[in-house]
Amino acid sequence: MRSGVMSDITNVTAGRASQVDKTKQLKLTQQSFQPPTVVRDVPAVALAAPAVDMSLEEKVVVTMSNDPQRVTEYVPDIICHLYNSESLCLPRADYMNIQTDITGKMRMILMDWLVEVHMKYRLTPETLHLTVNLIDRYLSKKQITRRRLQLVGVAAMFIASKFEEINPPELHDWVYITDNAYSKEDVLTMECNMLSILNFQIAVPTAAHFFEHLVDANGCDAAHRSCAQYLLELGLLDSRMLEYKPSHMVAAALLLSNELFVRSHFWPDAMAQQSRYSEQALRHCTEELRQLWKADRAGAGGQLQAVHKKFSTPQRHSVATMNFRELL
């Protein structure tokens, strides 16, 4: 059992989180969470690096031309729209300053637990990133007590899963995950309040929307892709990373992963053009991600084990425990 301070947030225990196997219980104990036993596979994408003189649109077309569901002809417009609109629906980076009863540490523990819940339900990456966006935007506008912070997290994932998933968990599942600490009415009331506070702005760009495009452009194989995702999800836990836009976070995670995999060129001109960020512009964010990575590696997850455990599995190429030639 790992130590934590979730009891400082809610003073409740969380129950089971798996629709598939409800005999396996995911609990919020007084000090910790029980790590999940089921991990959702991440699709492996092994792509050869395209020529460096190709544009972003051309590279995306090359990697997606055989998949009509990827609407290749609309990709340039979609990418442009994502970059143009991502700044419109961001949380305040300093919103913890307006919160009087919760702290950054409490947020970190909540996010760690939600990663576990996300794994147990086998939800998509888009659901996880939208959940975090909804929580942070809501807390940027609304003060909340620590006893209701878990409810905010559950309501946010409830909304995100209904928006992103084909078969989202049902209301009673979200009540059950908190071991009935909150009622169905509590969850629905918080859902309505959150949607109202956020003016029903749910279709927003998140890191998950930029990730696939930039991973393809970077020519990542399956292990490299998992490493970038691992770094990106470590960033979800720390409120200090809220100062960066989603596209910035994805690009910084890819830059760091390129360094860890000792690419001949860590950030070639083609990637600077495609991501719209130079290596210099990414360097500060990359170094902060490096520190999070070092801390996670040194403590094997420490109190917050969800991301470390998730990316220590063979399905994700054990990138959390992989031996890299560390670049200082």
- The DSSP-derived string for 285-314 is HHHHHHHHHHHHHHHTTTT--HHHHHTTSG
- Mean pLDDT score, 84-89: 91
List the chain domain ranges: 6-34+93-197, 47-89+206-328
- DSSP secondary structure letter of residue 98: G
What pLDDT sits at residue 10?
46
Lowest mean pLDDT among 49-53, 159-163, 321-325: 49-53
Residues 159 and 162: their CA atoms lie apart, in Å, by 5
Pick the CATH number of 47-89+206-328 from 3.40.1190.10, 3.90.1010.10, 1.10.472.10, 1.10.10.10: 1.10.472.10
Tokens of 112: 């760690």
What pLDDT sits at residue 9?
58
Burial 132-143 (b: 16+ CB within 10 A, else e): bbbbbbbbbeee
Kindly report the average pLDDT of the chain as a whole number. 82
Nearest CA to 80 out of 313, 247, 290 is that of 247
What pLDDT sits at residue 324?
79
The CA–CA distances, whole Å, from 302 to 35, 62, 162, 240 equal: 13, 42, 32, 19
What pLDDT sits at residue 75?
82
Q: Are 89 and 140 in contact (CB under 8 A)?
A: no
Is 0.85 surpassed by the pTM of this model?
no
Domain covering 6-34+93-197: architecture: Orthogonal Bundle (1.10)
- Is the pLDDT reported for residue 74 higher than 60? yes
Residues 61 and 65: their CA atoms lie apart, in Å, by 5
- Is the pLDDT reported for residue 11 higher than 50? no
Tokens of 273: 């053009």
Q: How confident is the model at residue 6 (pLDDT cuts 50, 70, 90)?
A: low
Tokens of 130: 């939208």
- Is the pLDDT reported for residue 212 higher than 70? yes
Q: How confident is the model at residue 60 (pLDDT cuts 50, 70, 90)?
A: very low
Q: What is the pLDDT of residues 239-289, one digit of tens each?
A: 999 999 999 999 999 999 999 998 888 999 989 999 999 999 999 999 999
Q: What angle do CA 313, 318, 320 make, to 5 degrees?
A: 110
Q: Are 282 and 188 in contact (CB under 8 A)?
A: no
Q: Are 260 and 327 in contact (CB under 8 A)?
A: yes
Lowest mean pLDDT among 43-52, 167-176, 308-317: 43-52
Q: What is the pLDDT of residues 127-169, one digit of tens each?
A: 999 999 999 999 999 999 999 999 999 999 999 999 999 999 9
What pLDDT sits at residue 189?
97
- DSSP secondary structure letter of residue 71: -
What pLDDT sits at residue 325?
65
What pLDDT sits at residue 38?
38
Tokens of 21: 């196997």
- More confident: 63 or 269: 269
Residues 128 and 113: their CA atoms lie apart, in Å, by 11
Nearest CA to 27 out of 150, 155, 167 is that of 150
- DSSP secondary structure letter of residue 267: S
- The SS3 assignment for 33 reads strand
What pLDDT sits at residue 97?
93
What pLDDT sits at residue 27?
40
What pLDDT sits at residue 271?
93
- Is the pLDDT reported for residue 43 higher than 80? no
What pLDDT sits at residue 302?
66
Q: Are 123 and 132 in contact (CB under 8 A)?
A: no
- DSSP secondary structure letter of residue 265: S
